[in-house]
């Protein structure tokens, strides 16, 4: 029986009353074999931590207990103790959870960790790097989502970054838990801070190569910045504090916790603190949690701001301050070009900026969500006949499109549908025309709005009619309707809502009827031109992801439905 196995049986015998909530450990012993390190199992840490917590409350010598029961952990900690520069990359945190109303880690255990790491801990204040890594690993605090240590023991981030070996783990293949977590968090949080990045590289030289090879420019990252201006007590000098949350979309699906979609890195930049930004917290997050951070109503000036994730910042922690919450997409001092969004003449979704019309359903959605992207935008009206060419050339950045696989060659698609749209034939109200299939158009005078794409099948039919000289083409939707009511054409096909909107404006809505034959019905998404001259494809992906998240939030509250009902749009 090896040393770790003996610890397992001792833990079971002494603490069988411990509730196993986050992980089912009943089959742990059975699953262990010679090829799997027991210390890589969440259950090993669950029983070990329960054992240590119990011992701490019984006034047992925790130093001796930890060295005896977890020699691999102690050996790893002692390696970190020789690398004191790594602690300078972290800020301060408080060993107390407001929701639990209790300590996160047993103070006796945390005190031992501090001594072993060469960073003595007094009271509840602790170096955030110690608390987030080894502190969480040995915390027995049960949260609604599980144990704090789950983020390290369940390999969520290894799965999310596609790493096959243990990297962000209590027993990494290379490096230590603290070194690897610091390296990953710092590569992202300090990506626009050359001084801190240089310090990070020096302090994490022994980190796993998989982490050192991470390229933040290739990741989908959004940074939420909260800026507060304070006055230093007794000095009367202005002081700026930035609370920064970097949200990274995990490149791969996380298993088994598939709900986890992002890595969150929380850092603080204080103008009176030497050395640049400091890391505070690192945690996997769900899509819903990330979306909530970027809710449109929470962005802008005069927002109530407070420290998060147990961070300790003098004159700010525990107090309510107002400041600005915004999305940073380019480093400070970097010029940011306005992206160009097509403001087409497509009622009720867009109205080409007409002074006598509302903005449009899709335009209002985008306008409300732009703050969540961090980008400025210029809405420009472009005719439908030129739109695709402008997008393919990169002269137009954003348009609303239904999904077609062929368009992926020149578009980055969003994933959250803004609305559903339907195309059907329109005839005169007194007409006896019925259409049940495309062939029924054959003997009818067909009007076509130049540039409208329809479905693949109907587009092919329209092209055939045009080649035969049997198609009436116009550059105006209203012209089509006037030709229809003037008996110059028999039928035209367009978006149902657009048809009604134009007909009402012309005062002829009672003179037309829309037939119950669907040419096309589909969901419409924000899309970004891959050839954009203003944003890279990575930035474009970040943009559409931000819009997606914002629209999801709007759909959860009444804002989306109020807007949808105002324009009579079919929601999605």
Give CA–CA dist 489/472, Å, rounded. 8
Query: For the whole model, what pTM was predicted?
Result: 0.82
Give CA–CA dist 351/510, Å, rounded. 23
| Helix, strand, or coil (residue 431) | coil
Query: In whole angstroms, what separates CA 210 from the centre of its chain?
Result: 23
Instruction: Provide the token pair at 137.
Output: 């690993």
- State the CATH class of domain 420-521: alpha beta
Q: CATH 3.40.190.10 spans which residues of the chain?
A: 339-419+526-567, 420-521
The dihedral built from the CA positions of residue 320, 324, 330 and 333, taken in this order, carries a sign that is negative
Point out which residues pair with 97 in neighbouring strands: 102
The H-assigned helical ranges of 240-396 are 287-293, 361-373, 384-393
Q: Distance of CA 338 to CAs 232, 246, 374, 531, Å?
A: 37, 23, 11, 15
Q: Are strands 377-380 and 339-342 parallel, antiparallel or unpaired?
A: parallel
Query: In whole angstroms, what separates CA 261 from the centre of its chain?
Result: 8
Instruction: Provide the token pair at 304.
Output: 């109530």
> Within 10 A of 202 (CB to CB), how many other CB atoms are there?
11
In the sheet where 300-305 sits, what is the strand order?
A: 278-286, 260-270, 238-249, 221-231, 321-328, 300-305
Instruction: Provide the token pair at 490.
Output: 């028999």
Q: Under a CB-based contact definition with an 8 Å cutoff, are residues 292 and 262 in contact?
A: no
- Tens-of-pLDDT digits for all 572 residues of the chain? 333 333 333 232 222 223 333 445 655 444 444 334 455 677 888 888 888 888 877 777 888 888 888 888 999 999 999 999 999 999 999 999 888 889 999 999 999 999 999 999 988 899 999 999 999 999 988 887 788 999 998 889 999 999 999 999 998 989 999 999 999 999 999 999 999 999 999 999 999 999 999 999 889 899 999 999 987 656 667 889 999 999 999 999 987 777 899 999 999 999 888 778 999 999 999 999 999 999 988 999 999 999 999 999 988 998 889 999 999 987 766 777 899 999 998 999 999 999 999 999 999 999 999 999 999 999 999 988 889 999 999 999 999 999 999 999 999 999 999 999 999 999 999 999 999 999 999 999 999 998 888 888 999 999 999 999 999 999 889 999 999 999 999 999 999 999 999 999 999 999 999 999 999 999 999 999 999 999 888 888 889 999 999 999 999 888 899 999 999 887 66
Query: In whole angstroms, what separates CA 117 from the centre of its chain?
Result: 35
Q: Under a CB-based contact definition with an 8 Å cutoff, are residues 55 and 65 in contact?
A: yes
CA-based nearest residue to 222, from 544, 525, 537, 553: 544
Q: Kindly give, in sequence order, each residue whose CB lies less than 8 Å from that of residue 333, ignoring residues fewer than 6 positions away.
A: none
Q: Are strands 300-305 and 278-286 parallel, antiparallel or unpaired?
A: unpaired
The dihedral built from the CA positions of residue 461, 467, 469 and 475, taken in this order, carries a sign that is positive
Distance from first CA to last CA of the chain, Å, rounded? Answer: 60
Q: Under a CB-based contact definition with an 8 Å cutoff, are residues 159 and 255 in contact?
A: yes
Q: Left (φ > 0), alpha (ψ -120 to 50) or beta: where does 498 sit?
A: alpha
Structure letter (DSSP) for residue 102: B
Q: Under a CB-based contact definition with an 8 Å cutoff, are residues 185 and 284 in contact?
A: no
Write down the architecture of domain 339-419+526-567 according to CATH: 3-Layer(aba) Sandwich (3.40)
Q: Distance of CA 94 to CAs 146, 147, 307, Å?
A: 20, 18, 11
Length of the chain: 572
Residue found by looking up tokens 């196993």 in the block:
20
Residue found by looking up tokens 């080649």 in the block:
467
Instruction: Provide the token pair at 8.
Output: 């397992």
Q: Under a CB-based contact definition with an 8 Å cutoff, are residues 415 and 548 in contact?
A: yes
Q: Under a CB-based contact definition with an 8 Å cutoff, are residues 546 and 372 in contact?
A: yes
Q: Kindly give, in sequence order, each residue whose CB lies less than 8 Å from that of residue 196, ignoring residues fewer than 6 positions away.
A: 89, 186, 190, 275, 276, 277
Instruction: Provide the token pair at 531.
Output: 């050839």
Give CA–CA dist 263/290, Å, rounded. 9
Q: Kindly give, in sequence order, each residue whose CB lies less than 8 Å from that of residue 126, ignoring residues fewer than 6 positions away.
A: 92, 93, 94, 95, 110, 114, 135
Structure letter (DSSP) for residue 535: S
């Amino acid at each position: 029986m090896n040393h770790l196995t003996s610890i397992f049986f001792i833990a079971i015998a002494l603490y069988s009353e411990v509730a196993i909530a986050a992980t089912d450990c009943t089959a742990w012993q059975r699953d262990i074999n010679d090829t799997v390190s027991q210390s890589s199992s969440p259950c090993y840490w669950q029983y070990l931590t329960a054992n240590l917590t119990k011992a701490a409350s019984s006034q047992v010598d925790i130093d001796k207990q930890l060295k005896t029961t977890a020699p691999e952990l102690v050996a790893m900690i002692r390696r970190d103790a020789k690398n004191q520069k790594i602690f300078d990359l972290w800020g301060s945190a408080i060993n107390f959870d407001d929701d639990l109303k209790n300590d996160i880690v047993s103070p006796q255990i945390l005190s031992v960790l501090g001594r072993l790491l060469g960073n003595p801990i007094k009271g509840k204040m602790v170096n955030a790097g110690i608390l987030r890594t080894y502190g969480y690993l040995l915390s027995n605090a049960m949260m609604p989502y599980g144990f704090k240590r789950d983020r390290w023991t369940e390999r969520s981030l290894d799965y999310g970054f596609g790493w096959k070996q243990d990297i962000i783990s209590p027993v990494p293949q290379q490096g230590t838990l603290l070194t690897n977590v610091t390296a990953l968090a710092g590569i992202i949080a300090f990506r626009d801070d050359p001084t801190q990045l240089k310090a990070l590289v020096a302090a994490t030289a022994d980190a796993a190569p998989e982490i050192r090879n991470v390229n933040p420019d290739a990741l989908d990252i959004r940074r939420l910045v909260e800026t507060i201006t304070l006055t230093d007590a007794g000095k009367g000098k202005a002081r700026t504090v930035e609370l920064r949350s970097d949200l990274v979309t995990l490149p791969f699906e996380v298993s088994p916790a598939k709900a986890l979609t992002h890595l969150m890195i929380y850092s603080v930049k204080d103008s009176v603190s030497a050395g640049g930004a400091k890391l505070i917290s690192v945690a996997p997050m769900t899509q819903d949690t990330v979306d909530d951070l970027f809710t449109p109503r929470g962005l802008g000036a005069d927002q109530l701001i407070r420290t998060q994730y147990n961070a300790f910042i003098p004159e700010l922690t525990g107090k309510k301050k107002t400041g600005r919450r915004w999305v940073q997409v380019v480093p400070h001092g970097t010029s940011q070009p306005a992206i160009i969004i097509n403001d087409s003449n497509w009622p009720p979704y867009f109205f080409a900026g007409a002074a006598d019309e509302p903005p449009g359903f899709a335009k209002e959605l985008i306008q409300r969500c732009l703050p969540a992207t961090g980008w400025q935008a210029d809405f420009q009206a472009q005719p439908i006949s030129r739109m695709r060419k402008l997008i393919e050339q990169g002269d137009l950045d954003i348009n609303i499109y239904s999904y077609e696989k062929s368009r992926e060659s020149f578009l980055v698609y969003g994933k959250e549908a803004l609305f559903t749209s339907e195309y059907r034939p329109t005839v005169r109200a007194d007409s006896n025309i019925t259409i049940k299939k495309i062939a029924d158009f054959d003997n009818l005078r067909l009007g076509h709005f130049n540039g409208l794409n329809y479905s693949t099948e109907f587009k092919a039919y329209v092209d055939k009619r045009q080649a035969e000289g049997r198609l009436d083409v116009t550059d105006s939707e209203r012209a089509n309707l006037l030709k229809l009511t003037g008996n110059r054409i028999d039928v035209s096909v367009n978006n149902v809502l657009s048809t009604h909107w134009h007909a009402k404006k012309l005062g002829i809505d009672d003179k037309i009827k829309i037939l119950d034959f669907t040419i096309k019905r589909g969901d419409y998404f924000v899309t970004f031109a891959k050839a954009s001259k203003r944003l890279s494809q990575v930035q474009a992906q970040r943009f559409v992801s931000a819009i997606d998240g914002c629209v999801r939030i709007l759909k959860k509250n009444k804002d989306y439905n109020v807007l949808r009902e105002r324009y009579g749009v079919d929601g999605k």
